[in-house]
Amino acid sequence: MAPPVEKHALRWVVSLAFLAIGLGVAAYRGAALHEELRQYVIVIPAGTAERLAAGDTTGAPPHSFELILGVRDVLVIQNEDSAWHQVGPYRVAPGHTLQQRFSRPGTIRAACTITASQQVEIVVREREGLFTLP
């Protein structure tokens, strides 16, 4: 049978371990919530479809553009135009906002109605940092 002093010490160690785990998970979660705030917003102004159809590419990305996003980043496409728009695999109705959170790395190359080249490349990478999220 262990002496009382050793038993007390063991209880303290276990208690501190519990606390450390709890604080660690809370800190990790807090970091994750902070990371969630990363949003990449694309606003498609009214008249975009008409301007591009008329050959006016003012303000439109001239070539394929690359969106470099981290895992868990959120792509927001806000369509203020009166026409549907497509950014890669995402088609957004007029007056609507689409949100896509990315859960794994990858590259999407697809059609796009807001670039002069009508192509877009979305690159999703693991972001490096203290808290590399799953």
Partner 1 sequence: MVRRFGTAALLALALLALAACGPYEFKGATLNPPKPMADFTLPAHDGGQFRLSEHRDGLVLVYFGYTYCPDVCPATMYQIKRAMEELGDQADAVQVVMITVDPERDTAEQLGSYVTNFDARFLGLRTTDPDALDVILADFGAYYTIEEPEDGGNDYSVTHTAAVYVLDGGDLVEVFSYGTTGEEMASDLKHLLRSRQR
Positions touching partner 1 (CB under 8 A) are 8, 11, 14-16, 18-19, 21-23, 25-26, 28-30, 32-33, 36, 72, 84, 89-93, 96-101, 103
For residues 25 and 123, which CB has a smaller minimum distance to partner 1 in the complex?
Answer: 25
CB of 15 or CB of 57, closer to partner 1: 15
**DSSP category for residue 59:** T
Minimum distance, C-beta of residue 123 to partner 1, in the bound complex (Å): 15
- CB-based burial, 75-107: b 16+ in 10 Å, e otherwise: bebbbebebebbbbebebeeeeebebebeeeee
Burial class (CB in 10 A: 0-12, 13-18, 19+), 117: middle
The smaller minimum CB distance to partner 1, of residues 8 and 63, is found at: 8
Torsion region of 20: left, alpha or beta (phi above 0 gives left; psi -120 to 50 gives alpha) = alpha
Closer by beta carbon to partner 1, 11 or else 109: 11
Q: What is the CA radius of gyration of the chain?
A: 24
Beta carbon of residue 62, minimum distance to partner 1 (angstroms, whole number) = 25
Least Å distance between CB 98 and partner 1?
5
* Nearest distance, CB of residue 56 and partner 1, angstroms: 24
